[in-house]
Amino acid sequence: MDERVSLAIIGGGPAGLAAAAAARERGVEDIVVFERDTRLGGILNQCIHNGFGLHTFKEELTGPEYAGRYIEKVRQLGICCETGSMALSISPDREITVVSREKGLRVVRADAIVLAMGCRERPRGALNIPGTRPQGIYTAGTAQKLVNCMGIIPGREVVILGSGDIGLIMARRMTLEGAHVQVVAELMPYSGGLKRNIVQCLDDFGIPLKLSHTVVDIRGRRRLEGVTIAQVDRTGAPIPGTGIDYPCDTLLLSCGLIPENELSLTAGVALNGATNGPLVDDRLQTSVPGIFACGNALHVHDLVDFVSEEAGRAGTHAAEYILNGGHGAGPCVRVMPGEGIRYTVPTTVHLGDGDDQVRLRFRVRDVYKGRAIRVTSGGEAVLLKKRRIMVPSEMEDVAIDRRRIVDGDLRVEIVEVEP
Amino acid sequence: MRYDVIIIGAGVTGCAVARALSRYDVSALVVDRESDVCEGTSKANSAIIHAGFDALPGTLKAKLNVRGSAMMDELARDLDIPFRRNGAMVVCWRADDLPKLQALYDRGVANGVQSLRLLNGDEARALEPALRDEVCGALYAPTSGIVCPFELTLALAENALENGVRFSLSTGVTGIVQDEAGFAVTTTRGVFHAKCVVNCAGVYADKIHDMVCEPSFNITARRGEYMLLDKTAGGTVSRTIFQLPTEMGKGVLVSPTIHGNLIVGPTALDIDDRDDTATTREGLNEVRRASALGVKDIPYNRVITSFSGLRATGSTGDFIIREDEKVKGFVDAAGIESPGLSSAPAIGEDVLEIIRGILPLREKESYIPTRRGIPKLAGMDFEARQRLIAARPEYGQIVCRCEQISEGEILDAIRRPLGAKTLDGVKRRVRAGMGRCQSGFCSPRVTELLAREQGIAFEDVVKNG
């Protein structure tokens, strides 16, 4: 006998919790959150630094505090959360195979599903860094878990490759824990993390950031003994003769995050090659009806506040899908990433005469100073927004009146500002 | 301690010899300098059970490969390890080279390889659509197979252990002398005595040989670099795609692995340092370049790890499996490069026959020919998995999300005889950490389990060694 629920949410991190709360507030009674870890909160539990919640709560919280607000909310709303439960697969008609210690292996059928599995870090192997494979190489997030949740310092002499936010945060954390962070190397000519993290985590501690540099060799048989860092040319290829050896026992990698969608693929959800997240419409519905996506499983965010907001919308749309017995198909237009735009979320938008705003989120390909974001609908400009600076490490977010969208491609692009 | 036989080296060859010997009423000890079995050449190779068309007819490589491959189905059943005959093709994209394919076919027939067929380019592409348009011919060998080299080696070792063979790991051999009772083998853990010594020491086999015998061969470490791709790329090809062999080996192959990943490689470079398993920029670039010659659209953006292994290339060009002419009782199983994995069970038999000439071998009644592996929950049907979790709830707690490996399986890996002591040991036994995140998520928990089960501090759990 199959179990049935109205809404199943896969992942009890910030995205899943916000989606659950929003769906309950919109009127869905029967909700279950499946969380594979032993506790709710996701990666926020290991983010003990502050800086979370400035948008959502207008105050500065640590990661666990931010998660705590949503965990409390979900508890107050009486939403069922199963921790230690991992969804193994989802069928296209929304039968979820779940496994846990307590309840064993079972199938749960859901009227709608919100995918909120988060993302993973790009490991050393995927970076094709040559050399040996000793102990002492960690992704920044793994090191963060060891230090902040388990009280283990993975090493004393540290080199960091990649200037993603977790790498920057860990440069500071390792320094505060008494380790010596020698250098942060970044392959690109610009940082992969937020400006405030460069200032607060590197500059304030005198840790050098070497842009256009990468690790070209790893040494040490059992334990890491050293790495070589070299300058790279514009194509990312190391420039011969620029290598410098850094003796170290620890190498942290902060070289990009990848939305985790192996589960989505089991349901037949189509992915966007640019994000590795599902292709979604402006209701955050994937290519499979009744399956929605949000948070870092959809695309990698810079701030958790934006995750919560987006996940709330996914929860609301999922609730409407359930309460209305499905969404009307309705005409859609495509959202096309134009000049300077790496991707957009969503990639399709429903036409309609509602007075709501359509949110478009995207990342730019390069550093742009003094340019503008232009959105056109069927060739007509519907939005022009000047921006002092745009960088690939920060997500951009614009809103458009739905009534201004006509039948024709929506195009997002970076344009010169007319004098 | 006195033994009838000491086997030096716990790779696939040593473990195959140990298992073959364990059927008989002899006392045997396997020593290895590493803390686990399968730590050398056996852990980093193409994981192919070759059909047997490569080696020159009449060589040991040819005979033992064909015989070893034929033994593999029953062995896999007995030892409960995954094995599949996925077939292989040697592809050729220059019309000038077609005679070489024919020569390879003839060689395979002479070696006794069954079911070989020569295909034209279109026939080959009909079977493997990812082959390049330039491919103009292929030798198709349906009997070629894929195996997990860790599980094969571990299963041989576990079964030998269950039948009474002892293992002393973290035990490096530093000297061997012949005495009236046979041999005294000095190790980092004391002196062991035996009537017979079997040298399965891989890239160090010549050094071990020369400790007690006149030098008669050299071993060169021939490094091969590989890239392993995510399971989502595992279906790029369904058979193992080889290129025409050269004097340095079988060239760069593209193959699914038994666990569903895609493996590409190896390069071939002779090196001086017999422990140097580093990868290089040049090597990895070469793997990419060469693998793309025969197969198109390999998704290199889904590489999850790269590694290199060392082939133990012997100076005679063939496997060296014999009792030393002067030092009676000292048996070499050396120069076991490719097709060493494929040949291992047959090498075990051949070494056994040599030992039969040295010691009396009497079959044991208590011999147990089969071994049960650690249950693999991710591959089980629903009801069987449900029952197992109901019986032991740890099987329901997923620790490695990428490979869907449960806490129960990891505990099994640690608690079994010859169990895992390191993160890599767990990884090789149950694949926790083998997936696309490369242990980023699961390693803290696996480390906790290793520390708890061994009664050591978290900080003292190591990745390997």
Taking only the tens place, the pLDDT of each residue in A207-242 is 999 999 999 999 999 999 999 999 999 999 999 999
DSSP 8-state secondary structure symbol assigned to residue A417: P
Range of B286's domain? 86-143+220-311
User: Would the CB atoms of A130 and B436 count as touching at under 8 Å?
Assistant: no
User: Is residue B431 domain-resident?
Assistant: yes
Q: Is A389 on the interface with B (CB under 8 A)?
A: no
CA distance linking residue B61 with residue B52, whole number of Å: 8
B107 and B244: one domain?
A: yes
pLDDT tens figures, B60-116: 999 999 999 999 999 999 999 999 999 999 999 999 999 999 999 999 999 999 999
On the question of pLDDT at A330 being above 90, the answer is no
Q: DSSP characters for A53-85? A: -TTTTSS-EEHHHHHHHHHHHHHHTT-EEEETE
Q: Are the C-beta atoms of A21 and A69 separated by less than 8 Å?
A: no
CA distance linking residue A180 with residue A174, whole number of Å: 7
Q: Is B455 on the interface with A (CB under 8 A)?
A: no
Q: Are the C-beta atoms of B74 and B459 separated by less than 8 Å?
A: no
State the sign of the Cα–Cα–Cα–Cα dihedral A35, A37, A38, A40: negative
Last residue of one domain, picked from the residues B255, B281, B311: B311
Nearest by CB to residue B394, choosing from A101, A134, A139, is: A101
| Exposed/middle/buried for residue B132 (C-beta within 10 Å: 0-12, 13-18, 19+) | middle
On the question of pLDDT at A419 being above 70, the answer is no
Across the A:B interface, residue pairs with CB atoms under 8 Å apart total 111
Tell me the β-bridge partners of A411.
A336, A376
User: Would the CB atoms of A128 and B382 count as touching at under 8 Å?
Assistant: no
The three-state secondary structure class of B136 is coil
User: Would the CB atoms of A131 and B278 count as touching at under 8 Å?
Assistant: yes
CA distance linking residue B365 with residue B163, whole number of Å: 11
Q: Which chain A residues touch B382 with a CB distance below 8 Å?
A: 97, 105
Q: Which chain B residues touch A125 with a CB distance below 8 Å?
A: 228, 303-306, 438
User: Is residue B345 domain-resident?
Assistant: no
User: Would the CB atoms of A152 and B284 count as touching at under 8 Å?
Assistant: no
User: Is residue B132 domain-resident?
Assistant: yes
Which two three-digit tokens encode residue A16?
A: 């899943």
Domain of B110, CATH number, reads 3.30.9.10
User: Is residue B248 domain-resident?
Assistant: yes
Omega before B339 within 30 of 0, i.e. cis: yes
CA distance linking residue B430 with residue B373, whole number of Å: 10
User: Is residue B281 domain-resident?
Assistant: yes
Q: Is A150 on the interface with B (CB under 8 A)?
A: yes
Q: Is A119 on the interface with B (CB under 8 A)?
A: no
pLDDT value of residue B247: 78
B254 and B119: one domain?
A: yes
CA distances from B376 to A144, B23, B259, B290 (A): 31, 28, 11, 35
Return the active site residues of B: 50
B417 and B302: one domain?
A: no
User: Is residue B71 domain-resident?
Assistant: no
User: Would the CB atoms of A105 and B389 count as touching at under 8 Å?
Assistant: yes
Q: Is A355 on the interface with B (CB under 8 A)?
A: no
Q: What is the mean pLDDT of residues A175-188?
A: 97
Q: Give the residue ranges of chain B where pLDDT is below 70.
A: none
Q: What is the mean pLDDT of residues A306-331?
A: 92
Last residue of one domain, picked from the residues B278, B311, B344: B311
CA distance linking residue B465 with residue B462, whole number of Å: 7
Q: Which chain A residues touch B436 with a CB distance below 8 Å?
A: 120, 123, 126, 262
B121 and B235: one domain?
A: yes
| Exposed/middle/buried for residue A73 (C-beta within 10 Å: 0-12, 13-18, 19+) | middle
Nearest by CB to residue A135, choosing from B232, B279, B462, is: B462
Q: Is A2 on the interface with B (CB under 8 A)?
A: no
B128 and B243: one domain?
A: yes
B266 and B393: one domain?
A: no
Q: Which chain B residues touch A142 with a CB distance below 8 Å?
A: 440-441, 443-444
Q: Which chain A residues touch B458 with a CB distance below 8 Å?
A: 150, 152
What's the pLDDT band for A1 if we cut at 50, 70, 90?
A: low
The three-state secondary structure class of B314 is strand
pLDDT value of residue B199: 98
Number of Cβ within 10 Å of residue A56's Cβ equals 21
pLDDT tens figures, B157-175: 999 999 999 999 999 999 9
Domain of B453, CATH number, reads 1.10.10
Q: Are the C-beta atoms of B332 and B322 separated by less than 8 Å?
A: yes
Last residue of one domain, picked from the residues B291, B311, B331: B311
DSSP 8-state secondary structure symbol assigned to residue B41: G
The three-state secondary structure class of B282 is helix
Distance from CA of A194 to the nearest CA of B (A): 23
Q: Which chain B residues touch A262 with a CB distance below 8 Å?
A: 232, 402, 436
CA distance linking residue A180 with residue A156, whole number of Å: 6
Q: What is the mean pLDDT of residues A150-179?
A: 97
The total number of structural domains that make up chain B: 2
B132 and B227: one domain?
A: yes
| Exposed/middle/buried for residue B78 (C-beta within 10 Å: 0-12, 13-18, 19+) | middle
User: Would the CB atoms of A123 and B440 count as touching at under 8 Å?
Assistant: yes
Which residue of chain B has the CA closest to A215? B281
Nearest by CB to residue B275, choosing from A97, A100, A221, is: A221
Q: Name the residue type at position B458.
A: F
B412 and B298: one domain?
A: no
B124 and B269: one domain?
A: yes
B224 and B139: one domain?
A: yes
Q: Are the C-beta atoms of B40 and B11 separated by less than 8 Å?
A: yes
User: Would the CB atoms of B278 and A134 count as touching at under 8 Å?
Assistant: no
Probe site for chain A from B300, B310, B389, B395 (most A CB atoms < 10 A): B389
Question: ipTM for the complex?
Answer: 0.95
Which residue of chain A has the CA closest to B231? A262
User: Would the CB atoms of B397 and A221 count as touching at under 8 Å?
Assistant: no
User: Is residue B159 domain-resident?
Assistant: no
Nearest by CB to residue A104, choosing from B396, B404, B459, is: B396
User: Would the CB atoms of A145 and B386 count as touching at under 8 Å?
Assistant: no
Q: Which chain A residues touch B285 with a CB distance below 8 Å?
A: none
B136 and B236: one domain?
A: yes
B276 and B411: one domain?
A: no
Q: Is B404 on the interface with A (CB under 8 A)?
A: yes
Distance from CA of B220 to the nearest CA of A (A): 20
Q: Name the residue type at position A312.
A: G
On the question of pLDDT at A329 being above 80, the answer is no
